[in-house]
Structure 1
Amino acid sequence: MSTYVLVPGFFFGPWVWEEVGRLLRDAGHEVRAVSLTGQGERAAEATPAVGVSTHVADITDAIGDADDVVLVLHSGATIAGTAAADRLPERLRRIVYVDTAPFPDGMAQIEFLPPDAQAEQRRRIETDGKGRLLPARPFDEDDQRRDPVSLAGLSADDLTRMRRRATAQPAALVLDPARRPAEIPDTPRTLIAATFTVDQVRAMVAAGLPAFTMLAGPGWTMTELPTGHWPMLSRPKELAELLLAM
């Protein structure tokens, strides 16, 4: 039996993993979906002090004394989740990056975006979020029309649930840079690419794009699950099957 530690990305709580978690439990495994400080059902805890180190503590606490852990990180969970993995390599069997990748030392989540999108996100933090929060995106049909790639595969009911349950993100999680040790543990790593093909990912690695440079080292396996950016909602059965095969 393995222990699957499932970490949500920005805006959501552990509920986003409910169906995937059920399928993993039905297969006989332990599942720990992480509740992160300041988002999801813990949104009321969002203070200026909540940052990457806060979420690192949340994730390491969730791992606890478990062994044979498969740590599954979605999207914006990558910086805190990777830092937690760097601290506890002896407990991990594998790290799985769901439509995300580990960032190099010094790179912040916001830097994944092109310059115009970075500027817009900073504006939203300063104006709508009063310098403390990044408001959630709309998650409505207009949003899906504007961004059909990220929101692919989601039904109207999915969007309604996301819209109702999304919460603003503590700004430090968006702005704080990744901090990696000089010696990075050699834990086996898997990328599940949802909005990119593996060939596209490899091309971006070869081009030296900063957000993809950490995918160049040894120890990686890559696979595809063609859908939008939230495969735990759009294709939970297929995502669970990939996780069970690891």
Structure 2
Amino acid sequence: MTTHLVLVPGFWLGAWAWESVLPHLQRSDVRVTALTLPGLESLDADRSAVTFDSHVRAVIDAVNASGDRTVLVVHSGAGPVGYAVTDRIPERIARIVYVDSGPMPDGAALRPDLADDVTEIPLPTWAQLESEGSSLDGLDADMLAAFRAGAIPEPAGPAREPVALRDERRFSVPATAICSSFSLEMIAQMTDAGHPIGVEFAKLPTTFVDLPTGHWPMWPRPKDLAACILDAADA
């Protein structure tokens, strides 16, 4: 049986973010699709009308383009999008893999504070990212330069709009959480503290895997990340 891996990057990133990981995913029984979500195609892309549902629909289209068993891999801010996909088409997702990411409950949003007239979120400074909890551990000067050069402003709509979930069959979709900057211990603390992501993880059949590094493991540890993804796909 062929497994279709659908890779969805986080904020400011396109399919290019997975380039170092792709060679390590090559296997005769695995097919890989790396996505660039709407609004992140180029600096000139129109981001004003991109919605959360636009991103969910793009992932669903990628899944439905193949009849193969699908494992959905979502990084960082793509976590809520991936979770919504398991809500829309739970029967099509064999497993969801959260890469330093997680599910968000119905009605929650990543950036509800954004004003309605904000259309995009530029990549912040490195100091701002770290102050907001996004670890840069493992990223050298060349990786940071490539990140900055390739980054596209994130459409504000998907970050601002609340997640809408309807189908409780999503709770039966197996999940793997690859914990990089957010360790397994931290996730447990979040759950105990009632953090929305931790609470939602507790509702899912989740396997937790520690992969210590920063928030973007695809660059400093591409081979190890690929091994974790393949292990999850084989589970």
Q: TM-score of the superposition, structure 1-length normalised?
A: 0.85
CA deviations 1:16-50 (Å, max 9, x no partner) are 011212211256511000111101x3443333220
Match of 2:53 in 1: 53
Query: SS where residue 244 of structure 1 aligns?
Result: helix
Q: 2:123 aligns with which of 132, 136, 146?
A: 136
Residues 176 and 206 of structure 2 are in contact (CA less than 8 Å); yes or no, is this contact kept in structure 1? yes
Whole-angstrom distance in 1 between the partners of 2:53 and 2:136: 29
Aligned to 1:176: 161
* Cα distance in structure 1, aligned partners of 2:223 and 2:108: 33
Q: Distance in 1 between matches of 2:224 and 2:24?
A: 10
Equivalent residue, structure 1, for 2:19: 18
User: CA offsets per residue over residues 53-89 of structure 1, 9 Å max, x none?
Assistant: 1011110111123321110000111122211222222
Runs of at least 5 residues in structure 2 that lack an aligned partner in the other structure: none
Q: Name the counterpart of 2:144.
A: 159
Match of 1:115 in 2: none
CA distance in 2, matches of 1:42, 1:61: 20
Letter in 2 for 1:44: D
Letter in 1 for 2:193: A
Aligned-pair identity (%)? 38
Q: Indicate the residue corresponding to 1:208 in structure 2.
A: 194
Paired residues, number = 229
> For each residue in 1:174-193, what CA deviation from the matched residue of structure 2 results, as whole angstroms up to 9, or x when unmatched?
11111111524211101111
1:29-48 equivalence runs, <5 A: 29-39=30-40, 41-48=41-48
Aligned partners of 1:195 and 1:172: how far apart in 2?
Answer: 26
Amino acid at match of 1:211: I
Greater helix proportion: 1
Q: TM-score, normalised by structure 2?
A: 0.89
Cα distance in 1 for partners of 2:24, 2:208 equals: 22
Matches of 1:137 and 1:172 in 2, distance apart?
17
Q: What is the Cα deviation at residue 211 of structure 1?
A: 2.8
Instruction: Provide structure 1 residue ranges, at least 5 long, that are not aligned to the other structure.
Output: 112-117
Contact 1:5 1:71 in 2 (8 A): yes
Tell me how far 1:145 sits from its aligned partner. Answer: 7.6
Matched residue of 1:223: which SS? strand
1-side partners of 2:134 and 2:58: how far apart?
30
